[in-house]
Structure 1
Amino acid sequence: MSFKGKVVAVTGAAGGIGQAVCRYFAGEGAVIAAIDKKDTVSSFADELKRDGVKTAYAVADIGDAEAVAKAFAHLAAALGPVDILINNAGYSDHPTLARTDPKGWQADMNGNLNGAYNCAHAVLPGMQEKRQGSIIAVGSVNGLSALGDPAYSAAKAGMISLTRSLALEYGRYGIRSNIVLPATVRTPLWDARAKKDPKVLATLTRWYPLGRIVEPLDVAKAIGFLASDAAAAITGVALPVDCGLTSGNIVMTRELTLEDF
């Protein structure tokens, strides 16, 4: 599939999934608008430029609506209106409700649900004017079930609803809206956790029917499909990219049936 000349905006671009998404679309000819709250997005953008990719970047916290508006205005001036928005940025720092105070809850909402809204709000007018566009959110299987990180999970569940509302209201303008729901993804975050428990990924793998966890490129390819003309009739969809995690509880099933499959 080709995205030659398409302006693809990726939030959380400096992270593990974000970099994979940027590189995937760049490899298909896209122009990359990289957004992240971390200054490291500048060095990543420079890497893409050295590889011959037309790129611009902005440093912005997606939870700050004013900063988001300025960032997208800057990127539009540099590259043109956004054709495809990947709402990838995400945040979680509160593993349980007991460890989540109101300030922490709001931080997780801003870093996920509110941020996704702010970015969609920034690009919708341009997409409406062109009468085409694609908005793809990176949610989580946490949005479907209680898997810890309750504020983050609630935000991701809200992103599913936001995705469907966008699909419902803006389809008449040729704008499609979908969301992918990854499970455990092999990013630097998990490398850091593995330093605390070297067996953590092996333990998690037991829960996945495919016998492995998700790679960043798996997520990027799913997003690429949803953004492509091959998915022209697909909107409002929440697509698990989870190596089978949500198909059932394989660990419990093994114990119930006394079968190892």
Structure 2
Amino acid sequence: MNAPTSPVALVTGAGHGIGRATVRKFRALGTRVLAADIDLAAEDLTADPGVLAAHLDVTDPASVEACIAGCVDRLGRLDHLVCTAGGDTGSPPNFLDETDDDWQRLVDLNLYGVVRCIRAAVPRMTSGGAIAVVGSVNGLAAWGGAPYSAAKAGLVNLTQQLAAEFGPRGIRVNLVAPGTVRTRVWDDQPGSPDQMSVLYPLGRIGEPEDIANALAFLCSPDASWITGVTLPVDGGASTGPRHLFGKLPHRTP
């Protein structure tokens, strides 16, 4: 393992997809990592002595507190918190059919889960550091899924609020808003995620490494004067549909 003075990152949702890619990216940069997840299929990650594993359920306050306290106990410090845990756990496609339970479940996972992790982490980030959160382009525009999208939109404002509050502590807070990324969420859906590539000016969907690279940058010294921002990492989708104009049926006035 690296020397005890090397920085430490706690990555939530580390067992799969973006979280797993983020663990690998931080390790490539020499950062020690606590890989935390409710479903931590990460034997290959923990074969690296610079990675320790921990169980974490972001919807359970006791689990969050135990995991983050354990990070400091096991690795001696906490410099970076990277919140990738979240997702759309399923709700009716129409707003009028969505119940209070649908809203509670998705807001709890995608918004309150981040709040819990940050609230537990900040008092332990005694040397400053950086917090990077995974939001979504769903939080920036009408891509569908009202409860999930509203929770992700809440993260945009939360990022600004906490960047202002924690800046004097030397803690930076930023958000990455991915577009479509090739993760296991597509495993149970018909077709390939590549069918979504038409929505993206760069002509492809994202890979977990694309998001991990942005998260690592926002936690790095290269981003030392960046805080409170939402960074879309979406292949240009947020620029609008101009790239589709030549593919749409021609209509005359």
Q: What TM-score, normalized by structure 1, do the two folds share? A: 0.88
Which residue of the partner structure matches residue 157 of structure 2?
A: 161
Q: Tell me whether 1:201 sits opposite 2:193 in the alignment.
A: yes
Q: Which amino acid counterpart does residue 179 of structure 2 have in structure 1? A: A
Task: Give, in angstroms, the shift of residue 108 of structure 1.
Answer: 0.5
Q: What pairs with 1:131-210 in structure 2 (closer than 5 Å)?
A: 132-193=128-189, 196=190, 198=191, 200-210=192-202
Question: How is 1:236-255 mapped onto 2 (pairs within 5 angstroms)?
Answer: 236-250=228-242, 253-254=245-246
Give the distance between the partners of 2:115 and 2:225, measured in 1 at CA: 23
How far has the Cα of 1:190 moved from its partner?
1.8
Partner of 2:44: 47
Give structure 2 stretches of 5+ with no counterpart.
none
Q: Aligned partners of 2:166 and 2:64: how far apart in 1?
A: 21
Partners of 2:242 and 2:15 lie apart in 1 by 34
Over 3 Å counting, the alpha-carbon distance change for 1:99 and 1:17 in structure 2 is farther
- Name the residue aligned to 1:19: 20
SS at match of 1:223: helix
- Equivalent residues of 1:32, 1:53 under 8 A apart: no
The alpha-carbon deviation at position 23 of structure 1 amounts to 0.6
Matched, 1:58 2:54: yes
The residue identity in structure 2 corresponding to 1:48 is: L
Q: Deviations over 1:221-251 (max 9, x none)?
A: 1111111111110000100000000011136
How much is the aligned-residue C-alpha RMSD, in angstroms? 1.9
Structure 2 contact 201–243 (Cα < 8 Å) conserved: no
TM-score scaled to structure 2, two decimals?
0.91
Pick one of 105, 112, 115 that aligns with 2:113.
Answer: 115
Consecutive unaligned residues of structure 1, counting only runs of 5 or more, are none
- Contact kept, 8 Å, 2:36 with 2:55, in 1: the verdict is yes
Residue 192 (structure 1) shift: 3.0
Label 1:126 to 1:207 Cα distance change in 2 as closer, same or farther (>3 A).
Answer: same
1:103 counterpart residue number: 101
Q: Separation in 1 of the partners of 2:19 and 2:170? A: 25
Q: Equivalent pairs: percent with the same residue?
A: 40
8 Å Cα contact 1:208/1:250 also seen in 2: no
> What residue in structure 1 maps to residue 70 of structure 2?
74
CA distance in 2, matches of 1:206, 1:9: 35
Deviations 1:135-161 (A, max 9, x none): 000000000111111111001000111
Bigger proportion of residues as helix: 1
Residue type of the alignment partner of 2:245: T
The answer on whether the counterparts of 2:46 and 2:53 sit within 8 Å (CA) in structure 1 is no
Report which stretch shifted further, 247-256 or 109-118.
247-256
Does 75-84 or 147-156 show the bigger shift? 75-84
How far apart, CA to CA, are the structure 1 residues paired with 2:65 and 2:161? 21
Match of 1:212 in 2: 204
Take 1:222 and 1:70, find their aligned partners in 2: how far apart are those partners? 28
Contact 1:37/1:59 (<8 A) preserved: yes
Counterpart CA distance in 1 for 2:27 and 2:95 is: 40
Closer, same or farther: CA 35–99 of 1 in aligned 2, 3 Å? farther
- Alpha-carbon offset, residue 255 of structure 1: 5.8
